[in-house]
Amino acid sequence: MTAPFFFHGLLLLVGLCCPLPITKTSYLYEELYEDPSIDHFQCRKVVLTICNVSITLFKEMAQRSGNGNILFSPIRVIAALSMLSLGAKGNLSKHILEALRLNKTGLPEAEIHKCFRYLLRALHKPEEFSPLKSGSSVFIHQGLTPENKFVEGVKDLYHSDVISINFTDSSRAKTQINNYMMEKSKKEIGDIVKNLESDTFLAVVNYIILNAKIISNYGCRFLKVKDYHLGYGMATKVPTIHTVDLNHLFRVEDLSSTVLVYSLLAGSFTTYFILPDIGKMKKVEQRLTYPHFRRMRRQLSLRMVDLETPELSLSETHDLESVMSLLGITYAFNGVTNSDSSSVMNDTLPKSLKVISKAMLTHEDKWSKPGKSICFKNDGSVDVGHVQFNRPFLIFIQDTKNDAPLFLGRVVNPKN
């Protein structure tokens, strides 16, 4: 499990926007959740801020985790902390938004929360519309009564469940939370909570899972077991997907990297793979900034690519309480009352806080060989690029509808 770190940086995930075929059911789903009071253009400021915060968080993780894997969901991490401001005491609500730099958007606090409702909506689509699974739950000590305003905000703006639980029996409470999250994730997540203090009064737990499948317009796919170079002279055998297809492939010279941009799952998500030259990973991590991604977008140009990517199975859990501490946030909750005295919660009440975010990503191919009749054959008239992702690389995935950053990470070992 990767430790949490302080963040306040710069990143914008921009990229290829591949329109999806619009079915009647998906259209009805979008209409059902459309809120005319939300200004989507203004919400792009919130997206930019989320991305700004993400890059420094990633850099801190990269610096402190050595050469290990990194994976987190910027939208889920920032949403969890922003949601806490709904129940914060006094001026702490504004302080939390300032710490997250959301105050830089120039939007009123209420509008910022509405934007999260809009951005998170795509993460909570029914399974028939999206292979992305995501959920969020707020567990409150049963001796406290949450205020209606807080409960309504958590449910409506952040698509979260609110559940009463007895935290005084920490072992039983941990089991209850883990069982609940396992049920919500359909058994894909187990033991998301590793430890829990008996004086906990509030636990926020969220997750995001993407089981990605590649798109192949030509049906040209092979699955082979090949060497993946971990560094320091070490290598491991991993299933490697070999495709020949149309993709965006180009160089970014000041990052000393080859960049691949392609779409997953019928174009609903755009994936960026950044492959640093040998020995240049640290340089890339230090230099990566928003202008790089803006220039990448201008470089997008489809070409035939002979591509080898490893199957991925990545999973990381982040405890976020330390992030709040590093941001200077000493959390005081004002969203509940003591059920015994109806007084606002005070220092005599339980005050340990638990905030957890889990990200899981798989990228695989279920087919062992391509269809013989449609596999692309180059007669020499087509310029075919070739790239092998057989050593550590960076990955990030965004929602093509609103540019929200879903995943950001570093792949050192594809099978962690």
Contacts of 167 (CB under 8 A, 6+ apart): 139, 141, 142, 173, 196, 198, 199, 200, 201, 203, 350
CA–CA distance, 177 with 170 (Å, rounded to integer): 10
Percent of the chain clearing pLDDT 70 (strictly above): 79
**Please, which pLDDT band fits residue 231 given cuts at 50, 70 and 90?**
confident
**Around 191, how many Cα atoms within 13 Å sit in the side-chain half-sphere?**
4
Model pLDDT, residue 373? 43
- Higher model confidence: residue 40 or residue 118? 118
Mean pLDDT, the chain, as a whole number? 80
CA–CA distance, 12 with 120 (Å, rounded to integer): 17
Q: Which of 129-143, 322-336, 385-399 has the highest mean pLDDT?
A: 385-399
Cα distances (Å, whole numbers) of residue 168 to 163, 312, 321, 331: 15, 39, 19, 20
| Ranges 15-24, 144-153, 322-331, 350-359: which has the least confidence | 15-24
For the cut 90, the answer to whether the pLDDT of residue 229 exceeds it is yes
Domain 40-211+314-361, CATH class in plain words? alpha beta
**Please, which pLDDT band fits residue 4 given cuts at 50, 70 and 90?**
very low
Model pLDDT, residue 283? 93
**Please, which pLDDT band fits residue 375 given cuts at 50, 70 and 90?**
low
**Please, which pLDDT band fits residue 127 given cuts at 50, 70 and 90?**
low
CA–CA distance, 248 with 188 (Å, rounded to integer): 32
For the cut 80, the answer to whether the pLDDT of residue 88 exceeds it is no
For the cut 90, the answer to whether the pLDDT of residue 199 exceeds it is no
For the cut 90, the answer to whether the pLDDT of residue 157 exceeds it is yes
Fold of 213-310+366-411: Alpha-1-antitrypsin; domain 1 (2.30.39)
CA–CA distance, 88 with 115 (Å, rounded to integer): 19
Tokens at residue 410, please?
A: 């570093």
List the domain boundaries for the chain.
40-211+314-361, 213-310+366-411
SS3 379: coil
Tell me the per-residue pLDDT of 277-306, one tens digit each, with 9 for 90 and over.
Answer: 999 999 999 999 877 877 888 888 888 888
Q: Which of 70-84, 250-264, 267-281 has the highest mean pLDDT?
A: 70-84
Model pLDDT, residue 175? 94
Model pLDDT, residue 297? 81
Model pLDDT, residue 378? 64
For the cut 60, the answer to whether the pLDDT of residue 40 exceeds it is yes
**Please, which pLDDT band fits residue 341 given cuts at 50, 70 and 90?**
very low
Q: Which of 3-7, 24-28, 56-60, 245-249 has the highest mean pLDDT?
A: 245-249
| Ranges 17-26, 138-147, 159-168, 250-259: which has the least confidence | 17-26
What is the bridge-based pairing of β-strands 144-146 and 336-338? antiparallel
Contacts of 117 (CB under 8 A, 6+ apart): 35, 38, 156, 157, 158, 159
For the cut 70, the answer to whether the pLDDT of residue 128 exceeds it is no
**Please, which pLDDT band fits residue 177 given cuts at 50, 70 and 90?**
very high
For the cut 60, the answer to whether the pLDDT of residue 372 exceeds it is no
Residue listed under structure tokens 């969890």: 80
Determine contact, residues 146/162, Cβ cutoff 8 Å: yes
Cα distances (Å, whole numbers) of residue 166 to 140, 163, 197: 8, 10, 12
Model pLDDT, residue 332? 65
**Please, which pLDDT band fits residue 134 given cuts at 50, 70 and 90?**
very high
CA–CA distance, 273 with 249 (Å, rounded to integer): 10
- Higher model confidence: residue 413 or residue 245? 413
